[in-house]
Structure 1
Amino acid sequence: MRAVSVHQDVIVVTSRIWKTTATLVRDGGEAFLIDSPILPDELDVLPALAEQAEFRVTGLLATHADWDHLLGVYAFPEAALGVGETTAARLTAEPGAAARELRDFDEEYYIDRPRPFSVPGVQALPVPGYCAVGDRELELHPADGHTADGAAVWIPWARVLVAGDYLSSHAIPELSPSASIDKYLATLRRFGPLLTQADVVVPGHGEPLDGARAAAILREDVAYLEGLLGAEPEKAPLPLARRTGAQRNLHEYNLSLLRDGKAS
């Protein structure tokens, strides 16, 4: 796991698996963890890292309900988990889904966890809306499209945008059985004004970006998604830096969801 301070009040950690990011943000004597790393040893060391950096974690936030963003409960079991209203609704509608998907992942990679995964309860937060940390407020912005749920977190005093599973320099936009290309595009367009203010953008998967690089990725992602909506979706343009074999496979997966009517 890699940890980098992008502001005196913001630390971003990146998992060794899928480059999944988690963000520590603080004000005064209170700190939140947004999303989570994946591997058990990364989660084990996270409390010590936070304590050493003087981030006293009192709460957890998750940008959406995919299992790889919910594992902060292993590192900070006493902290309450806050999620946007759509994510709370998804967790209620899909009981046990995250635990099953985590179990499948762990079985595939021979990973042992200290205890079974569970989220005993969540606090549903209004989106758009605000979430207090210390004496300051985080802004919550709608970020659906990749999945049916989602919220991005804007940290105004640090000029940092935690984008959820968007704006990755490694991966093209990924659809899901609950995805909507129109809503995905709407989320990217909502990000536009924030990117003009952002010093740092934290994608769900990949290294932190500066605002200009994130804006370039946004333009590429819009072009790709508009291509999927066109007459020949199989020819949707993959960004030059993301034309790897894995991303071509992801493109085929996106096409299969569209053909089967599982994404729109």
Structure 2
Amino acid sequence: MIQFSNGKVTVFQSVLFQTTSTVIQLDDFILVVDPNWLPGEIQEIKAHVDAVQGDKPCYLLFTHADYDHIIGYKAFPGAKTIGSAGLANYPKKDHKLKLIRDFDATYYVSRDYPVEFPELDIVIGADGQQITIGSTTLTFYLAPGHTEDGLFTVIDAEGVFVAGDYLSDFELPFIYYSAQAYEETIRKAKQILHGHPVRLLVPGHGQHTKSRAEMDRRVGVALDHLKRLKQAVLAGDEQVLEQLKLEHGFLSETTMECHKDNVRIMRHELLGETAEEE
């Protein structure tokens, strides 16, 4: 379904995990971010692109390699692709494809396009790297922490900040790669918000926002959660760790496992404990 549209930027939201996919109509091309999830949802995104594309080329931007964010890759044949060097060199591509195929098999989902890991035409390897397509410049920032290959994208001409799996309105930090890197990435997001004319923030899950106060609030919530998590890990305070677990939105086995990952990675980075899964 369409969560937001202003005539040039359209944010679609899946019923699964409130995952977003954003289509931006620019002067010289169409940018599609993380097309997902279900076949009907991807078809809705494709229909929108077909309706507005005209003779403009289509570019696909992947914020990171989590399987829900790459699942619609081959639904847009001929599109140019953009992603981080971490995504281009992702070490477990077959594992991500297996997750997609397992999901589809579990729920009897059929797709009318092949399931493949994205091959990138444009690889982003540095903070502040820019590419210009026609008259539009995109600015990229590496965003590790949630995963190793995360990527922020800012389009100053439209005031858009595409944040991937950060700065959700309800989703607290899910740390799959590094707690320290996650904190640094949130601080980087804060700098982006103060250094670019951001008028629209689109997270990978949840609601967009046009409110600068809300953007700042989301930065604060993430940093506060990480700070309290760090303090609890250092103090060995299981009561506080339990409370932090209960603060996650949509409390479930999934969020509890993510919290366990957060604690495990924090303990490894702060205390030197093994980071191997229990």
TM-score, normalised to structure 2's length? 0.83
Whole-angstrom distance in 2 between the partners of 1:107 and 1:212: 43
Question: Could you tell me how far apart the structure 2 residues matched to 1:121 and 1:244 are?
Answer: 34
Contact 2:141–2:153 (Cα < 8 Å) also in 1: yes
Q: Deviation at 1:182?
A: 0.7
Q: 1:3-30, CA deviations, whole angstroms, 9 ceiling, x for partnerless residues?
A: 4214x43221111111111111232241
Question: 1:172 touches 1:238 (CA, 8 Å); kept in 2?
Answer: no
Corresponding residue number in structure 1 for 2:214: 213
Structure-1 separation of matches of 2:103 and 2:246: 30
User: How far is 1:166 from its partner?
Assistant: 0.3
Q: Structure 1 residues 153-162 or 129-138, which shifts more?
A: 129-138
Tell me which residue corresponds to 2:271: none
Alpha-carbon shift at residue 169 of structure 1 (Å): 1.4
After superposition, the Cα gap between the structure-2 partners of 1:239 and 1:217, relative to the gap in structure 1 and judged at 3 Å, is farther
1:251 paired residue among 251, 259, 269: 259
Query: Does structure 1 conserve the Cα–Cα contact (< 8 Å) formed by 2:179 and 2:265?
Result: no
**Which protein shows a greater Rg?**
2
Contact 1:57 1:76 in 2 (8 A): no
1:32 and 2:31 aligned: yes
1:55-204 counterparts in 2 under 5 A?
56-90=56-90, 93-119=91-117, 121-123=119-121, 124-128=123-127, 129-176=129-176, 179-196=177-194, 197-204=197-204
Other structure's SS at 1:122 match: coil
Letter in 2 for 1:216: R
CA contact (8 A) 1:132 1:138 kept: yes
Q: What stretches of structure 2 of length at least 5 have no aligned partner?
A: 268-273
Where 2:193 maps in the other structure, the secondary structure is helix
Partner of 1:43: 42
Question: Is residue 2:228 matched to residue 1:227?
Answer: yes
Q: Number of residue pairs matched? A: 258
Q: 1:72 to 1:57 in 2, by over 3 A?
A: farther
What secondary structure sits across from 2:24 in the alignment? strand
Q: Are the structure 2 counterparts of residues 20 and 120 from structure 1 closer, same or farther at C-alpha, using a change threshold of 3 Å? A: closer
Flag the 1:184–1:75 CA change in 2: closer, same or farther, 3 A: same
Does the aligned pair in 1 maintain the 2:171–2:249 contact within 8 Å? Answer: no
Identity over aligned pairs, percent: 28
1:142 Cα deviation (Å)?
1.2
Q: Which residue of 1 aligns with 2:275?
A: 261
Q: CA deviation at 1:70?
A: 1.2
Q: CA RMSD in A?
A: 2.5
Change over 3 Å in CA distance of 1:134–1:27 after alignment to 2? farther
The 8 Å contact of residues 9 and 22 in structure 2, kept in 1 or not, is answered as yes
- Asked if the contact 1:145–1:185 (Cα under 8 Å) also holds between the matched residues in 2, the reply is yes
Q: In structure 1, what is the equivalent of residue 14 of structure 2? A: 15
* Residue type of the alignment partner of 1:51: D
Counterpart CA distance in 2 for 1:89 and 1:261 is 22
Distance change in 2, residues 1:131/1:23 (3 Å):
farther
Question: Structure 1 unaligned runs (5+)?
Answer: none
User: Residue 158 of structure 1: CA displacement?
Assistant: 1.4
Q: Distance in 2 between matches of 1:75 and 1:86?
A: 23
How far apart are the structure 1 equivalents of 2:245 and 2:189? 19
Q: CA deviation at 1:253?
A: 4.2
The alpha-carbon deviation at position 224 of structure 1 amounts to 1.1
Q: Which amino acid aligns with 1:141?
A: Y
1:27/1:133 contact within 8 Å kept: no
Q: Match of 1:206, as an amino acid?
A: G
Q: Is the 8 A contact 1:31 1:133 kept in 2?
A: no
Distance in 2 between the 1:111 and 1:233 partners?
44
Greater strand proportion: 1
TM score, norm. by length of structure 1: 0.87
Offset of residue 77 of structure 1: 1.6
CA contact (8 A) 2:230 2:266 kept: no
Distance 1:151-1:87 versus aligned 2 partners, 3 A rule: same
Q: Secondary structure at the match of 2:74?
A: helix
Quick one: distance in 1 between partners of 2:237 and 2:144?
21
